[in-house]
Structure 1
Amino acid sequence: MTADLSRTLARVRIHDVDILRGFALLGILLVNITFAASGFHIQVTDPAYASGLDDAVRWLGSVLFSMKFYLLFSFLFGYSFTLQTEAAARAGAAFRPRMTRRLVGLFALGAVNMVFLISGDILTVYALLGAILLAMRGVRDRTAIVVAAVLYGYLLLTMGLSALFVDASAFLDRAAGLAQGHETTANLAGGLGSVIHEHLAILPIYGLSQLSMQGPTTFAMFLLGMVAGRRRLLAGLTGREPVLRTVQLVGFPVGLAGAVYYASAGGNGDTLAVLASALTAPLLAAAYAATLIRVVHGDRGRWLGSALAPAGRMALSNYLGQSVATLLIFTGVGLGLVGQVSPLEMVVIAVAIFAGQLAVSRWWLGRYGHGPAEWLLRWITNGQRPAWRRSTVG
């Protein structure tokens, strides 16, 4: 095989990675929109939306979406980390400084996102944890898997002890929760300064959640994704692999059982419920992924893969675009609908936003080589300005 042919083959995108990334974007939006559309989150629900239908929609959202899709996104980040290694090798560039620039750029984009656009952000977390992944990139697969297991063991120990010996109900004050919810809603309904103030005010709580649960699980998925990427587990899939069905048969019953317990026991307000979800959500996320891969490789599901892949190719732009959309729809910077939409209406709006992103992504990539945020990050990563228009070669 010639060197030119080898480089050409190496550049072929892994279509299923793009499809899974596009799918994960929808799940992340369905979770994040609840933080943009309402000031009521953990302690109490919005008393204006307390009907049976509202409760059912919130419950289903907790079962099907909460704590699942960031895991899939994190796994794909670890998988793509290995693809970045290959890209640096093809370019003849030193990987460490190249990846360091990429992580700095990712952190900067995330900082803008969490200050100006939405409460909380995954990009800054990915950048910080990505630096640790960079330091560990030389470890063997076995070591990476053991570290991932240790991180989940840490959760089992710390959260299990907390559930046994700490009475979380002592920290829950319904009156204070209602007051906080109304205050948050009012801040988000204000102008840009008020919105920024609210985004900054939530950072300590968000940081605590990262240290206690989301950060360790995210990094564990980074490591597992890196191992999967080294072994090219998502390359060349046909949808007929027996392991996909095995993942479904194990992941759905176990994952859904944990999700139902999480939603029914109080969600994020109950430590044991969060622990149950943290331990079983990876299996449900894996079952979702296996199901999607099987579907998009079938004759009847190819259209779905074709619809999701462009959104996944420009996932960074779409993730930031979701923040812009929710800012303009819900906060006082735009329409100011915060606190004025029901849980079901939030779902409808999220699906509408995502449908628009599918259409725009397909149109954009038909004309340009990268999404706008990807283009900027590639410039930062490579240290040179990439071509803007789509290449007609290759």
Structure 2
Amino acid sequence: MRHSLQTDVRGQVMTSSAATPVGTNERHNILDALRGWALLGVLTANMTTFIGFGYASDPERDAALASRFDDLAELLIEWLVVGKFYSLFSLLFGIGFALQLDRLQRRGEGAARFARRLLVLFLFGLAHLFLLWMGDILALYALMGFALLLFRQASDRALLRWAVFLWLVPIGWSAMIHHAGIDPAGPIYELAMREFAARGVDLSISPAAWLNDADYLEQLNANPAAVLLRIGDLTYQLRPAKVLAMFLLGLWIGRRSLFADPSAHRPLLLRVAKTGMGVGLPLALVRAILHMNAGDSHPLRFAEETLYCISTPLLALGYAAAFTLLWSRGRRAILSWPDPAGRMALTNYLAQSLVQSLVFTGMGFALATRFGLVFVLLFAPALFAAQVVLSRWWLARFRFGPCEWLWRSATYGRAQPMRLARPVVGTA
């Protein structure tokens, strides 16, 4: 049975009929805070690529500062971060879908408004892909958002069944690749390599060296080939199925408003936290060790990818449930720290790619491969802390982040009010 979202987190009935975005008084602070922490996790995972660790040669890795700590840093990041926070972001997307869809339905609108919102997000993703960085997730989120629309009338039980199925399908996909020798991503990778060569990019020496040397125009020229490489990665991982699975779980959670009154759902949240952390953490640890040691062994890579499909959603849900329980127990002073960054997640996500490109590639200081992986654990929190400070300053003056304002304005077909109203002197 569908559960209609009748009130906001403060218990106030939302009755506005105007076709406008969610206002400040309608925000769910717990979701913004959790989105902020997820943004830090995504930054940490992405920085492992920007810093050069993912594509550097062994001599380049060995020459990096503090490289002797690489194994420990890689273990921690692969164990606790990689996959978990993009899954958490996907979960939050599904929750947001439930909130927005309910609001549109109570206003007498259909799903067309949400579809338009997805189209604008897809354009942001394309711009990110072709103008800045191949690791974009926005375009995939938009495409899977259209798939999510097909489930808006599905029962709660159907949502859960489909979510489990979609996380299990990649295991069969991995078995097909490693045991049957059928790799659908292979031709895409080959096409990407041919496209790099056609554009005069020689990656045979070192991708890290090329990115350090290439200026922005050279990288821009190579980005279509890099996009093909990204499509190959998403195909190999069957990432669309994993993203849609978390969307569906988020839709289920959003229907039940678990975040609005955590105390009312404490037994369920405790079970999810205990199972997610108790089972997910050890499985994720084994998976991280396999990832670091599997090499070209097909059996080991299949085992690693299978454990990823099991441990990642468990741990992401465990993180979310534990966070919600702590929030309900009065730990908000600490947990809400990244709330401003979470309210401007799109702006901050894109800004992270821009800053890292300027710091680590030939677009700017070309510092990729100069630092060992352990520095990600220092650089990522420092950059994110700066984003929290800037986001707090911005939101004290404006209603939305710059990209959020553009997203909303394009969605609603008119410029949205941007500046906050100044308080009237003499009023309470």
Q: Tell me the TM-score range normalised by the shorter chain.
A: 0.7 to 0.9
Q: Where do residues 240-389 of structure 1 align in structure 2 (5 Å cutoff)?
A: 241-267=266-292, 270-299=301-330, 301-389=331-419
Indicate which of 204, 209, 230 corresponds to 2:233.
209
Residues 28-76 of structure 1, C-alpha deviations (whole Å, 9 max, x = no match): 0000011112163499683434944111111111111111111110011
Residue identity in the other structure for 1:14: H
- Identity rate, percent: 33
State the Cα distance separating 1:187 from its structure 2 match: 2.7
Query: What is the SS of the residue equivalent to 1:348?
Result: helix
CA distance in 2, matches of 1:228, 1:320: 27
Report how many aligned residue pairs link the two structures.
Answer: 381
Residue identity in the other structure for 2:276: G
Query: What is the SS of the residue equivalent to 2:214?
Result: coil
Q: Report the counterpart of residue 17 of structure 1 in structure 2.
A: 31
User: 1:351/1:321 Cα in 2 relative to 1: closer, same or farther (>3 Å)?
Assistant: same
CA distance in 2, matches of 1:356, 1:350: 10
Q: Report the counterpart of residue 66 of structure 1 in structure 2.
A: 82
Indicate which of 115, 129, 132 corresponds to 1:100.
115
CA distance in 2, matches of 1:279, 1:46: 31
Query: What is the SS of the residue equivalent to 2:338?
Result: helix
State yes or no: 1:236 paired with 2:261: yes
State the Cα distance separating 1:163 from its structure 2 match: 3.8
State the Cα distance separating 1:115 from its structure 2 match: 1.9
Indicate which of 220, 224, 232 corresponds to 1:196.
220
Residues 82-131 of structure 1, C-alpha deviations (whole Å, 9 max, x = no match): 122234346x4633221122111101111111222222211000111111
Q: Report the counterpart of residue 125 of structure 1 in structure 2.
A: 140
Give the conservation status (yes or no) of the 8 Å contact 1:239–1:294: no
User: 1:191/1:239 Cα in 2 relative to 1: closer, same or farther (>3 Å)?
Assistant: farther
Residues 121-153 of structure 1, C-alpha deviations (whole Å, 9 max, x = no match): 110001111111123322222222222222123
CA distance in 1, matches of 2:165, 2:272: 22
CA distance in 2, matches of 1:114, 1:286: 29
Q: Where do residues 131-146 of structure 1 align in structure 2 (5 Å cutoff)?
A: 131-146=146-161
Give the conservation status (yes or no) of the 8 Å contact 1:155–1:213: yes
CA distance in 2, matches of 1:372, 1:392: 19
Query: What is the SS of the residue equivalent to 2:14?
Result: helix
State the Cα distance separating 1:391 from its structure 2 match: 4.4
User: 1:112/1:315 Cα in 2 relative to 1: closer, same or farther (>3 Å)?
Assistant: same
CA distance in 1, matches of 2:204, 2:53: 8
Query: What is the SS of the residue equivalent to 1:337?
Result: coil
User: 1:95/1:320 Cα in 2 relative to 1: closer, same or farther (>3 Å)?
Assistant: farther
User: 1:77/1:356 Cα in 2 relative to 1: closer, same or farther (>3 Å)?
Assistant: same
Q: Report the counterpart of residue 251 of structure 2 in structure 1.
A: 226
Give the conservation status (yes or no) of the 8 Å contact 1:239–1:293: no
Unaligned runs of 5+ in 1: none
User: 1:326/1:207 Cα in 2 relative to 1: closer, same or farther (>3 Å)?
Assistant: same
State the Cα distance separating 1:220 from its structure 2 match: 0.5
CA RMSD in angstroms comes to 2.9
Q: Report the counterpart of residue 162 of structure 1 in structure 2.
A: 177
Residue identity in the other structure for 2:69: L
